[in-house]
Structure 1
Amino acid sequence: MEDKHIVEKQQTENLDTKQRAALEKYDAESRFRIFKNKGVGLFVTGIAIALSIYHLYTSYFGTPVTLVHRSIHVAIVLALIYMLYPPFKHAKRHFMPWYDWLFAIAALSTFIYIYMEYEQIVHRGGLPNQWDLIFGFILVVLVLEAARRVTGWGLPLLAVLFVLYGLFGRELPGIFRHRGYEWQDIVNFMYVTTEGIYGTAIGVSATYIFLFILFGAFLQKSGMGQFFNDMALAIAGQTKGGPAKVSVIASGFLGSINGAAVANVVTTGSFTIPLMKKIGYKKNFAGAVESSASVGGQILPPIMGASAFIMAEMLGIPYSDIALAALLPALLFYIGVIVQIHLRASKEGLKGISKDNLPAVKQVMKERGHLLIPLLFLMYMLFLSGRTIIFSAFLTILVTIVVAMLRKTTRMSGRDILQALENGARTALGVAIACAAVGIIVGVATLTGFGIKLANAIVTLGGESLLLTLMFTMVACIVLGMGLPSIPTYIITATMAAPALVQLGIEPLVSHLFVFYFGIFANITPPVALASFAAAGIAGGRAMQTGFISMKLAIAGFIVPYLFVYNDALLLTNNSFGEGIIVVFTSVLGVLMLGAAAEGYFMTTLHPVLRLLLFGGALMFMNPNIFQDIIGFAIIAIVLFFQWIRAKKEGVASLKAI
């Protein structure tokens, strides 16, 4: 009965204070104000709800002209940020100082000016007048300061460096030198065109991203998070190392929907990490399981944290093609994590939770299984209906509300719906402001040709070697992704690093998936591994050690991108059905071997030589080729034989340990 008490306690205990502390330490987006003045609080809530309603309205009835629509989105996002986020980490959060009211009004003025002067702006054809420059300057400053408050110093400092590069690049030597631009040129480009702050990044934020974040807010309010936790417990809780597998399953699904690795670590990890520690996993390992699983959710279709929709927009290819291409690599990533979890449990003799003390699959489905209907409906709309992504998201939100009404335990009241609208808008602020700041970076890169220059530099460093070019690109992506949310990370890496691979003849989709993977994995790669550090904070472990263990658990994710660059069969885009089955089978077998090699255990402890042999055999399987497959099978046979002999000598009577 002790196990049952643990599970019930973890599910029902109020962990808000602990979650809040962890979030605020590692995620600046969570450091918002809680107003003592109810009138001010209701006013801010009303604006957030109005922002959500505006996006729902435009998703059904259509948006205004591009520049106006994007400027509305940015202006209200900025106003909400200055109302909700104090200027410093330890500033008082119970009231709003006069200057933040002023900043919020200034933010709204940037939209009002564009709305009133839109025809004149178009007629001027890119030649700014004095007022264009004034409001453009205001917008740039407001975006940088808002990004600092919400995301921390990294992104705004990078944006400032790019602005300085635009101003003084004429002074640089070598390939990064350009003709130089005046301040007026940069401000004009950022404000009255759709190439700077109002560029592709904020365009996607104002359409796809906001709606899918809102969809996630409605799912969460209906109890989807509890459903994922309960279902994961029912499926995997009783197996060896069960709580760790529960963490992987629940965090993977939630991470795919919300796309927020650190927030996912805190919300899911507050439940799963104590359970992992209770059955015997060491605290660093427990934190690493949660962080690697949460980060992996962002590469998992169908939603991929909304990044798939941005990729579709940037590449001009159907979303369904991207989701299909990303499916097998994402599954390989999670199989690799689960294999290591299972082998660690086998090696250390860790058990799961008693079946009698876990929820039954049938009961979980009876209580909340209907919440899967919105996800199935979304997949139908995206893959089969032929309707736009925006309209599909709008209808799915409505379906979520209706489906939640089917049972009392998930039914949303009018207050719940309003809270979901507010929560969706609040959650979208971090991504939206990051996209606006990224617009400055991408805008300068476009204006100066920096992206092409960086691609040329990477190709030059790599010489004629594709492998070296991939390695330099990987390092660039991890550095560019340090401390950033997944969506702006992808946009930056796609702009700066992907062109290097395209120059070498690699397909654009393959190039973009490669940089996306490594930009995302910056969240678990020391020295700046925010997801791992947050998990270590919950587990009571050491941050850097947790980060390195997270990397080991995610080893398949670090290797698979290289393999699909060399052989895109792993993306299942150019395969027949039969070829696809073979690719899936051999690549899964390869990941199983890779997990065993990483953990150093297979029936019993692996000798270092056999461990290296197994690692090489794993690579043979994961790169589809008939001759390499034969070599892989031979290696498996050799390792199995020696491990069986060694296990028999050590008194292992059966193969149950595997």
Structure 2
Amino acid sequence: MEREAPLGVRERLDRPPVELGLRSIIYAFAVFLTLYTIYYAYTLFWVRVRFANVFLGVGVALFYLVQLLEKHVAKRSGDGLVAETDDTESSLFEHGPWKALDVVMLLAGAVVALALAGYVEFNFARLLEDAPIFGWTTTDYYVGVAAMVLVTDATRRAYGNVIAGVVVAGIAYAFAGPYLPGVLYHTGMDWQQVARNGAIGLTGVYGFILEVGTTAVAIFLMFAGMAKAYGLMDLVLNLSREVRNVLETGVVQVAVVGSMIMGSITGSAAANTATTGSFTIPMIKDQGVREDFACAIESVASSGGQMLPPIMGVAAFLMADILGIPYLEVVKAGLFPALLFYFSVGAAVHLIIHKFDWTTDAEGTFDKSILLDGIHYVIPLGVLLYTLVVLRFSPLSAGFYTIVALVPSALLKRLIDAYRGDDEPVEVAVDFTVTTFDGLRQGAVDMAPLVGILASLGIVITMVEQTGLGARISFRMLALAGGILVVLLLLAMATSILFGLGMPTPAAYIVVAALVAPALTTSETFTIQPLTAHMFVFYFAMLSAITPPVAVAVAVGARIADSDFLQSCKQALRIGAPGFVIPFAFVANDGIIVWSSSTPIDLLVVLAGTVAVVVATVGYDGASDLGWPHRIVYLVIAGGAMFGPQMVQLGTAGLLMLTLALANTGRLPAVVTPSRQ
């Protein structure tokens, strides 16, 4: 799908007055929110919860205004805000009473969001210090209820009824506890307790999830928005076209890499499939790849991107805060599992492309000048790595210095291009300034839908903690496992996939971290380290995006690829199959997560097992199609390499390499299947 060129200043002003006014307000709110975040990262002038309150008010108001623009006002999408109407005249009330009601609700939501933030800010000292001792006022309770309703509605509008229903169910559960049986029973709460715990006590809505989201998560999404404004997506697209000229697998591998990198930033497998997939899936299909495989490749890559450090779909920051460990430890723990998954997807795609003969001639040349177009990204990425790994700054501070490095780097690149093209310096300066402010706007607009769900998830977690549901679920899972680790892990896998269905990355991780992870860490029978347990449930929550019956990433990709949903799910499970095994492997070989002297051996044997799983699920070893007897042999080898005693692991890893070497030299007989489906 061809992307629209950004609108010029004159074209932006050539709009109906209502649309122009609304866009101007959105622009002002968005730029303020990004600059407010950057300034806070530099000064830390308030405690985090106070900063988060203002961010929540402006962020939710911005989200409602963007919804109003996109659903009822906008007529063009050149600045990244996509219109849904095709009308030629701008009128807010031309579509009947329901549309008019929605307009009123959106405007009211924006006003209420700002009013709530103002109330909490004005009464902040009292709510933080005096109210827990002397009590809350009736107005406080009403404000708490209003905050909970507001963020739940914002969540519904951004992510649908299912996720909003989880929030509503959490609140309802707080009331209904005395009437529920068995593990669900608790003594119950009245409405004042729900309002206090859910919001106005500066917990719930204003809890640690919102605090992390509005600081560490926001600064990186805003960096991503600015990078996109400076041409990051265009660079990825151009690189994809060039690599297609020199790789037999063509553009497919580049699409995998690009989707995983961008997926790490977006925080939603479905959203990433929709954005990057809108141009990668057509390019993959143009190479001759069948529709269901094109959908599956993009869906799996976008889902895998959520596991990729340093951002991990913004879950890395939440994980560090929940576990109370340095952020860098989470990045280290996530590195090798992500590389294993990354490698498995790349290997599966490579084998599939050759198996079905979807290769390209690869007789062209790679235009190295394309790399120079992205040279200015090297400096901010270097700053990011240096501040996180060497200086061990917090993610918020590292994100600040990364943005500070990005702007002059991009400006220098523009000036060099202008010098080569004989452009006027004044014109370049004006264009760069407009682009920079567009980037400030884009980062905040990308962050705005996430604000509501982070706040509403705080409600869910608070209700789970206050009612003791998490502890009871953990106890019941341990009882069902009967002291057998494999059974416990299978129960945790199934539960994580169930709770993760349809949710964006932060939401899915928060839910499984509260309800499932404790079962893996509280048992005296098993010795699973907390970081390993959280990585385990996190992986399966992410894989729910390609798991039927919901498989939200596949559903989005299937619409773009025009493929059958269930057939696409089948291929996605085939390509992503190693991802369902890797979490079990790093529990059995936890040197992959917690680095130690055993890490190199653990990584080697799990890598060998991953290769064996890929060959078995694809049914191709690089030389010939494999029948089920050969596939089963590879699965046995995978099991031995990943889960056997160390000598068995090393032996089967060696056997795998020998088997593949013999197969690709034609010395190993294979059972060739007659059908390639």
Alignment of 1:330-345 (within 5 A): 330-345=338-353
Moved more, 639-648 or 203-212: 639-648
1:611 aligns with 2:631: yes
Secondary structure, in 3 states, of the residue corresponding to 1:299? coil
Contact kept? 1:617, 1:636, Cα under 8 Å: no
How far residue 232 of structure 1 moved from its aligned partner, in angstroms, is: 4.8
Structure 1 residue identity aligned to 2:41:
S
Structure 2 residue identity aligned to 1:272:
T
Moved more, 73-82 or 326-335: 73-82
* Change beyond 3 A, Cα 1:229–1:581: farther
* Change beyond 3 A, Cα 1:593–1:316: same
Structure 2 match to 1:655: none
CA–CA separation in structure 2 for the residues paired with 1:642 and 1:396: 48
The match for 1:545 among 542, 561, 567 is: 567
Structure 2 residue identity aligned to 1:125:
P
Alignment of 1:556-571 (within 5 A): 556-571=578-593
The match for 1:301 among 299, 306, 309 is: 309
Structure 2 match to 1:153: 161
Contact kept? 1:525, 1:547, Cα under 8 Å: yes
Contact kept? 1:454, 1:496, Cα under 8 Å: yes
The match for 1:103 among 109, 133, 141 is: 109
Secondary structure, in 3 states, of the residue corresponding to 2:413? coil
The match for 1:62 among 23, 41, 44 is: 44
Structure 2 match to 1:73: 55
Structure 2 residue identity aligned to 1:368:
G
How far residue 377 of structure 1 moved from its aligned partner, in angstroms, is: 1.3
Contact kept? 1:237, 1:246, Cα under 8 Å: no
Contact kept? 1:85, 1:150, Cα under 8 Å: no
Structure 2 residue identity aligned to 1:628:
Q
Alignment of 1:357-506 (within 5 A): 359-360=366-367, 362-408=368-414, 413-504=432-523, 505-506=527-528
CA–CA separation in structure 1 for the residues paired with 2:660 and 2:43: 62
Cα distance per residue 1:75-116 (max 9 Å; x no partner): 112212222225998998764833432222222121221222
1:119 aligns with 2:146: no
Structure 1 residue identity aligned to 2:596:
N
Structure 2 match to 1:527: 549
Contact kept? 1:614, 1:636, Cα under 8 Å: no
1:518 aligns with 2:520: no
1:38 aligns with 2:20: yes
1:265 aligns with 2:273: yes
How far residue 421 of structure 1 moved from its aligned partner, in angstroms, is: 1.1
Structure 2 match to 1:31: none
Sequence identity percentage: 29
How many residues align structurally?
A: 619
Moved more, 58-67 or 247-256: 58-67
TM-score by length of 1: 0.88
Structure 2 residue identity aligned to 1:227:
L
Cα distance per residue 1:457-498 (max 9 Å; x no partner): 222222212111111111111121112110121111111111
Structure 1 residue identity aligned to 2:495:
A
Structure 1 residue identity aligned to 2:24:
L
Contact kept? 1:68, 1:111, Cα under 8 Å: no
Instruction: Give the aligned CA root-mean-square deviation in angstroms.
Output: 2.7
Structure 1 residue identity aligned to 2:47:
V
Secondary structure, in 3 states, of the residue corresponding to 1:37? helix
CA–CA separation in structure 2 for the residues paired with 1:129 and 1:632: 67
How far residue 590 of structure 1 moved from its aligned partner, in angstroms, is: 2.3
The match for 2:261 among 253, 256, 267 is: 253
Structure 2 match to 1:284: 292
Contact kept? 2:641, 2:648, Cα under 8 Å: no
Secondary structure, in 3 states, of the residue corresponding to 1:442? helix
Secondary structure, in 3 states, of the residue corresponding to 2:189? coil
The match for 1:242 among 250, 259, 275 is: 250
TM-score by length of 2: 0.86
CA–CA separation in structure 1 for the residues paired with 2:309 and 2:670: 45
* Change beyond 3 A, Cα 1:287–1:580: same
Secondary structure, in 3 states, of the residue corresponding to 1:413? helix
Structure 1 residue identity aligned to 2:501:
M
Cα distance per residue 1:248-294 (max 9 Å; x no partner): 11112222233332232233223322232223211100110011111
Contact kept? 2:585, 2:606, Cα under 8 Å: no
Cα distance per residue 1:325-363 (max 9 Å; x no partner): 11111111121111121112222222225342x543x32
How far residue 123 of structure 1 moved from its aligned partner, in angstroms, is: 1.0
The match for 1:129 among 124, 137, 142 is: 137
